């Protein structure tokens, strides 16, 4: 069937009550931006749903883009016809005949939104179903487990028929729940945490700590690639803050508290990220931590580390298993990049036996002895480079010389 239009259903938006209008407006803007290349598309709203008229544009690429848009729960390709019995019956039959895979069972689920239509929903199920059955002798009705559930949505100005419900990303439109900083390493977890945070409507700026020259340009490119991928989902450029961390790490290592190196490093990262958050109007910090995954992610460790910052720490992966995180990374297209074998600043300095239960008082005491820590943090912020990334900025990143960055 040559689909002429789509109906889009919103996700978490429905719980927003009074704010619903604002969210719908924002959603429409995001959809229009995402489909801006398809110039003839037209849009109209009805009963909290959005109808997209394709006006000759192909269905497939448009459907693929919509699947990834935050705030859309699902959508269906629909055919429309005028709201009279004969047209509806004929359109239903044409739709059934157009299916590539011929079903052996079906049912009709009619919904009479326009109450003045002379037949009830029940009657329409029979009237449309029997019309299709008469013309298709091999077909049977199965009301419990039909292969095709033919939906007939009867509205005053038109009737919409569809059978397919395509699930989309869900959540809230990008940026409708505030802004946070994402701690983005080159690993598997943090891009997934970023995707989940964005799905909840958070706008993100990414922060990455590097230890040049101990970490290479390739490690940097990997993080750029991950941020670039996240910007495909946001539908907006993502800022990536690249923070020079070598001096801080070197000073921490010199404190000769090997098991606590990661604890100190993470606390310094949080302090810096919090400063960047305040400077950029962000109200939270997102990390890829998952309970018990490594020594720095025990409850005690996360407590001691988290006390270095006042802003809320958002940890979307906290209760997820690694296998689930990997599956999500594959689904959102970050996994292949994440497993490239380039060193991260933390793996370089990882101690042989990191503390599983660091002691907050002791940690604070050692830090107080590192009197120049505050200055080193100031210098790291001063030396931070900022890139603005979009899905198209790949080539620019790959050709950027070292001087542009370090």
Using CA of residue 337, residue 339, residue 343, residue 346, what is the dihedral sign? positive
> Residue from 91, 190, 257, 334 that binds ligand ATP (CB under 6 A)?
190
Partner in contact with 12, chosen from ligand ATP, Mg ion, none, beta carbon below 5 to 8 Å by kind: none
Task: Give me 127's structure tokens.
Answer: 């009237």
The secondary element (H helix, E strand) that includes residue 319 is none
Coil/strand/helix, residue 320:
coil
* Least Cβ distance, residue 298 to ligand ATP (angstroms): 11
With binding defined as CB under 6 A, does residue 381 bind ligand ATP? no
For ligand ATP, the binding residues in 262-291 under the rule CB under 6 A are: 287-289
Query: Please, which residue, 234 or 296, has the CB nearer to ligand ATP?
Result: 296
* Least Cβ distance, residue 321 to ligand ATP (angstroms): 12
Nearest to 79 by CA among 197, 160, 175: 160
β pairing state of 313-314 and 166-167: unpaired
**What is the C-alpha to C-alpha distance for residues 272 and 384, in angstroms, rounded to an integer?**
10
With binding defined as CB under 5 A, does residue 284 bind Mg ion? no
* Least Cβ distance, residue 296 to ligand ATP (angstroms): 5
Residues 6+ apart with CB under 8 A from 280: 179, 181, 205, 239
Here's the x/- map for ligand ATP, 203-242, by CB under 6 A: it reads as: ----xxx---------------------------------
> Residue from 24, 205, 344, 367 that binds ligand ATP (CB under 6 A)?
344
> Residue from 6, 79, 148, 188 that binds ligand ATP (CB under 6 A)?
188
Here's the x/- map for Mg ion, 167-186, by CB under 5 A: it reads as: ------------------x-
β pairing state of 203-210 and 179-183: parallel
What's the alpha-carbon Rg for the chain, to the nearest Å? 27
Distances (CA, A) of 50 to 18, 71, 76, 153, 277: 19, 12, 11, 14, 35
With binding defined as CB under 6 A, does residue 349 bind ligand ATP? no
With binding defined as CB under 5 A, does residue 187 bind Mg ion? yes
Partner in contact with 377, chosen from ligand ATP, Mg ion, none, beta carbon below 5 to 8 Å by kind: none
Number of residues that bind Mg ion (CB under 5 A): 2
Long-range contacts from 164-167, C-beta under 8 angstroms, 24+ separation: 164/76, 164/77, 165/74, 165/75, 165/76, 166/63, 166/66, 166/67, 166/74, 166/75, 166/76, 166/77, 167/67, 167/73, 167/74
DSSP 104: S
* Least Cβ distance, residue 358 to ligand ATP (angstroms): 14
Here's the x/- map for Mg ion, 134-173, by CB under 5 A: it reads as: ----------------------------------------
Site of interaction with ligand ATP (CB under 6 A): 183-185, 187-190, 207-209, 287-289, 293-294, 296, 344-346
Contact positions vs Mg ion (CB under 5 A):
185, 187
């Amino acid at each position: 069937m040559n689909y002429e239009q789509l109906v889009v259903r919103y996700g978490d938006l429905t719980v927003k009550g009074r704010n619903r209008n604002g969210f719908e407006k924002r959603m429409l803007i995001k959809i229009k931006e995402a489909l801006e290349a398809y110039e003839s598309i037209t849009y109209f709203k009805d009963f909290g749903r959005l109808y997209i008229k394709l006006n000759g544009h192909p269905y497939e690429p448009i459907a693929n883009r919509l699947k990834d848009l935050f705030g859309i729960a699902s959508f269906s390709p629909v055919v429309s016809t005028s709201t009279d019995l004969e047209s509806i019956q004929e359109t239903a039959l044409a739709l059934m005949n157009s299916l590539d895979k011929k079903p052996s069972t079906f049912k009709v689920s009619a919904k009479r939104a326009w109450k003045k239509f002379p037949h009830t929903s029940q009657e329409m199920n029979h009237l449309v179903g029997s019309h299709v059955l008469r013309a298709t002798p091999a077909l049977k009705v199965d009301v419990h487990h039909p292969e095709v559930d033919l939906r007939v949505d009867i509205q005053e100005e038109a009737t919409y028929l569809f059978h397919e419900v395509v699930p989309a990303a869900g959540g809230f439109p990008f940026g409708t729940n505030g802004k946070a900083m994402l701690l983005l390493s080159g690993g598997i977890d943090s891009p997934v945490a970023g995707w989940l945070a964005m799905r909840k409507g958070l706008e993100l700026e990414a922060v990455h700590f590097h230890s040049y020259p101990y970490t290479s340009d390739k490690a940097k490119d990997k993080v750029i690639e991950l941020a670039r991928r996240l910007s495909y989902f946001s539908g907006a450029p993502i800022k990536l803050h690249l923070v020079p961390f070598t001096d801080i790490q070197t000073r921490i290592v010199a404190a000769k508290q090997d098991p606590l190196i990661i604890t100190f490093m993470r606390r310094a990262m949080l302090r810096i990220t919090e400063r960047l958050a305040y400077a950029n109007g962000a109200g939270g910090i997102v990390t890829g931590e998952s309970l018990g995954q490594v020594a720095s992610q025990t409850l005690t460790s996360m407590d001691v580390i988290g006390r270095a910052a006042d802003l809320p720490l958002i940890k979307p992966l906290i209760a997820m298993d690694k296998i689930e995180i990997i599956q999500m990374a594959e689904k959102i297209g970050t996994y292949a990049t994440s497993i490239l074998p380039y060193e991260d600043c933390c793996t370089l300095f990882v101690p042989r036996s990191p503390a599983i239960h660091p002691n907050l008082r002791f940690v604070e005491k050692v830090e107080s002895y590192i009197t120049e820590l505050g200055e080193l943090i100031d210098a790291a912020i001063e030396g931070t480079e900022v890139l603005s990334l979009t899905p198209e900025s790949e080539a620019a990143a790959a050709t950027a010389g070292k001087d542009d960055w370090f």
